[in-house]
Amino acid sequence: MSNLIYYVPLSIILVALILAPLVFAFVISIVRSDYLRSLIIIMIAAVLAISSLILFARVTITHQIIHYAPGLIDWNLLVTIADFGLMAMFIRMGVRRKSALILVFAVIQTIILAWVEFGPKHTEMAYPPIFIDWLSIVMTLIVSIVGSVVAIYSLPYMREHERHQNLTISKQPQFFRTLLLFLGAMNGMVLSGNLLWIYFFWEITTLCSFCLISHDETEESLRNATRALWMNMVGGVGFITGIALIQFNKLPMDASRLLELVRTGNEAHIIALLILPMACLCFAGFTKAAQMPFQSWLLGAMVAPTPVSALLHSSTMVKAGVYLIIRFAPIFRHTALSEMVAIVGAFSFITGAMLAIGQSNAKKVLAYSTISNLGLIIACAGLNTPLALAAAVMLIIFHAVSKGLLFMATGVVDQSIHSKDIEDMQGLWARMPLTSLIMVIGILSMLLPPFGVLIAKLAAIESSIQNPLVMVMLVIGSTLTVVFWTKWMGRMLATNPQADGRKRENLPALYAGTLAFLACGAVILSLFIKPILENLVLPAVANYYNVAGMEMTPTVLSAPWLMIFLVIALSVLAPTFFNHLRSSQIKPAYLCGEQISSRAATAQFLTVADGTAEMTVRSYYFEKVTDESFHVKWVTIVATLLIVILFGAVYLWK
């Protein structure tokens, strides 16, 4: 078996992971048959998942980082041409959307790109552009598995979505084209080492996100997509500036070479040259990961169909931002930049959680929670110790699964009750038992033991102790996180007594399958956190810092997790299965004895003139304290200041 895996040629795996989605993207855009489209998507999903697993197995068995130069044609030239093609598309979009911002940033990028490509080039060895280490593997697995699950989930979702729109021509071909393009581009980005390649794929994801957000072509979605585009193009300008600076300083344009230089060469000299470009790349990462003050594009993105949000928030797009920062984290270790990155991340962590408390729109809560969690990941990258990076990589994995799950479940609920408002989800536990159970599992996996996100968060707190400011923000932020999640779960669970037991729920097979897959994934991954850490996360980090395993195993892992898991599972299962309430034991809620009947399963009570009134309950949203428009204002100002300070610190540090 292991031999078999080894003899699958690397080129085929790469073609399957990067080129196949790109090619099939164009195939699917001309396929008009629902059946054929489903077939292609499921096939591609399977291919992606299997190839990523093979790649993982291969690297695990050989313990070798892969450098690879694809043959046949001059791929570098192809990327260069495609890059300018992309720029032309951006300019066209700027003109079509009449957005001066897009136009300006596109032109700036084109000019800098032209300088990088055609300007004075220093003699440089040609490095193999494909660079695969454990971090790439982690990302590929997430993109290929979670991303594929989202793609499959989109099939029934988009069918239902279009049923409500009365379209004459289905827009599904375009939708799935963009989706596949997105997955291919993400895989391309995480598997390349050449900065220009990374930049190319990075810009494709920007373009894809624009297309997906504007998919419904309502005025609001177009407006929000335009905002997403220009904000991400600000990041693009940062990215290409970083590349130009590296070129200017006559440093290699290759991630693996840069990491190697820092690890072996005369560090101080090289780091001094690299720190400003790195700051630019981090800035690009902030925009893509929707860190404050760039949060508004991700919030605007929720107008898109729910699978888009599931994709953007869990496995692609925002993860590209944190990936970029983590990828280069060891280079700016022990610099002022690192400190500032940690502070910017921690600031987003705490403010994202704070803003989520006041929201009643489920997708908005999820969006703020994503911003918050990405802030945590970036804070870990900024803390920049082996332990912190291990925490960051774990967070990427577990967050992808849980957040994808939550968005997908929200989409299912939305299509059933036609509302995204958490208040409308009241009593969902009785109406949609399966979906709400999955949702509760998803939420619990975001914030409580024994689930992975919490374990990673504890590791993050542990590693933040060297940086008191970040530590305080992480502790307070974690507390705020608990508030909005618990409120949400509480709303779903608030039911009237059901004397006749819970109803069964009929979910379409593809919904039930994908949701159950991710829900089980969240539980099983948490159960096997130790092997995951040892086989996937620690090699990724060890390779970075040249350290042994002990130094980065978080101490929280030494806790008796198996016992904790067992006790919790037992305490949940025992009353579920062995302690059933008889219907005579079920009593209505206490309403001062004023409920209309002692048996009724409603919360109605008698009021004046023998009228009946329904008892209504609602969550606290602390409107006066958590007023969004007010907080967003000062958060934007402070976050902008932090980024200015970041660049100032980098400048002074030199």
Partner 1 sequence: MEIINIFFVIVIAPVIGGLLFGLDRKLTARLQKRMGPPILQPFYDLFKLFGKGRIASNQFQLISVSVYIACTILSLILLATGQDLLVLLFVLALGHIMLILGGFSVRSPYSQIGSQREILQLMAYEPLLVFMVIGTYLKTGSFLVSNLMTGSYKPLLISLPAFLLTQIIVMAIKLHKSPFDISASHHAHQELVRGIYTEFSGAQLALIEMAHWYELILLMGFIALLWQTNLVIGGLIAFACFLAVILLDNISARLTWKWMIRFAWSFGVGISVANLAAIYILR
Partner 2 sequence: MNILQKSRAKSPWILHYDAGACNGCDIEILACLTPVYDIERFGMVNVGNPKHADVLLVTGTCNKRSARVLKNLYDQMPDPKVVVAVGACALSGGIFHECYNVLQGVDGTVPVDVYVPGCAPRPEAIMEGVMMALEKMNKR
Cα angle vertex 139, ends 135, 142, to 5°? 145
**Nearest CB to partner 2, comparing residues 436 and 595:** 595
Judged by CB under 8 A, how many residues of this single chain contact partner 2? 10
Give, for 519, the enclosing helix (H) or strand (E).
helix 509-527
What tokens does 134 get? 């454990």
What tokens does 385 get? 């110790």
Residue (of 62, 134, 50, 64) closest to 533 by Cα position: 134
590 binds partner 2 (CB under 8 A): yes
Q: For partner 2, which residue of 227, 327, 588, 646 counts as binding (CB under 8 A)?
A: 588
571 binds partner 1 (CB under 8 A): yes
509 binds partner 2 (CB under 8 A): no
- Is residue 315 a contact partner of residue 150, using CB atoms and an 8 Å limit? yes
Residue (of 476, 244, 477, 463) closest to 371 by Cα position: 477
Q: For partner 1, which residue of 93, 413, 480, 649 counts as binding (CB under 8 A)?
A: 480
State the Cα–Cα distance between residues 51 and 132, nearest whole angstrom: 14
Minimum distance from residue 498 beta carbon to partner 1 (Å):
7
- Is residue 289 a contact partner of residue 336, using CB atoms and an 8 Å limit? no
Tell me which residues in 405-444 interact with partner 1 (CB under 8 A).
Answer: 426-427, 429
State the Cα–Cα distance between residues 625 and 622, nearest whole angstrom: 5
454 binds partner 1 (CB under 8 A): yes
- Is residue 473 a contact partner of residue 346, using CB atoms and an 8 Å limit? yes
Tell me which residues in 568-587 interact with partner 2 (CB under 8 A).
Answer: 587
Among partner 2, partner 1, none, the one that 427 touches (CB under a kind-dependent 5 to 8 A) is partner 1
Please, which residues have CB within 8 angstroms of residue 520's CB and are 6 or more apart in sequence? none
Fill in the per-residue mask, 484 to 503: x = in contact with partner 1 (CB under 8 A), - = not in contact: --xx-xxx-xxxxxx-----
Q: For partner 2, which residue of 266, 506, 598, 629 counts as binding (CB under 8 A)?
A: 598
- Is residue 370 a contact partner of residue 318, using CB atoms and an 8 Å limit? yes
Residue (of 403, 485, 391) closest to 444 by Cα position: 485
Please, which residues have CB within 8 angstroms of residue 328's CB and are 6 or more apart in sequence? 255, 258, 259, 278, 281, 282
Q: For partner 1, which residue of 117, 424, 462, 551 counts as binding (CB under 8 A)?
A: 462
611 binds partner 2 (CB under 8 A): no
DSSP 334: T
Among partner 2, partner 1, none, the one that 529 touches (CB under a kind-dependent 5 to 8 A) is none
Minimum distance from residue 605 beta carbon to partner 1 (Å):
10
By CB under 8 A, which span of 251-259, 296-304, 363-371, 555-563 interacts with partner 1? 555-563
DSSP 583: G
Residue (of 51, 40, 49, 45) closest to 12 by Cα position: 51
Judged by CB under 8 A, how many residues of this single chain contact partner 1? 62
- Is residue 395 a contact partner of residue 481, using CB atoms and an 8 Å limit? no
State the Cα–Cα distance between residues 382 and 352, nearest whole angstrom: 18
**Nearest CB to partner 2, comparing residues 123 and 585:** 585
Minimum distance from residue 497 beta carbon to partner 2 (Å):
11
Fill in the per-residue mask, 605 to 634: x = in contact with partner 1 (CB under 8 A), - = not in contact: ----------x-x-xx----x---------
Question: Tokens 């494709």 map to which residue?
Answer: 204
**Nearest CB to partner 2, comparing residues 71 and 593:** 593
Q: For partner 1, which residue of 479, 607, 612, 640 counts as binding (CB under 8 A)?
A: 479
Minimum distance from residue 449 beta carbon to partner 1 (Å):
5
568 binds partner 1 (CB under 8 A): yes
**Nearest CB to partner 2, comparing residues 269 and 599:** 599
**Nearest CB to partner 2, comparing residues 32 and 587:** 587
Residue (of 286, 253, 249, 290) closest to 270 by Cα position: 249
**Interface ranges with partner 1 (CB under 8 A):** 426-427, 429, 448-449, 454, 458, 461-462, 465, 468, 471-472, 475-476, 478-480, 482-483, 486-487, 489-491, 493-498, 555-556, 558-560, 563-564, 567-568, 570-572, 574-576, 579-581, 585-591, 603, 615, 617, 619-620, 625
**Interface ranges with partner 2 (CB under 8 A):** 587-588, 590, 592-595, 597-598, 606
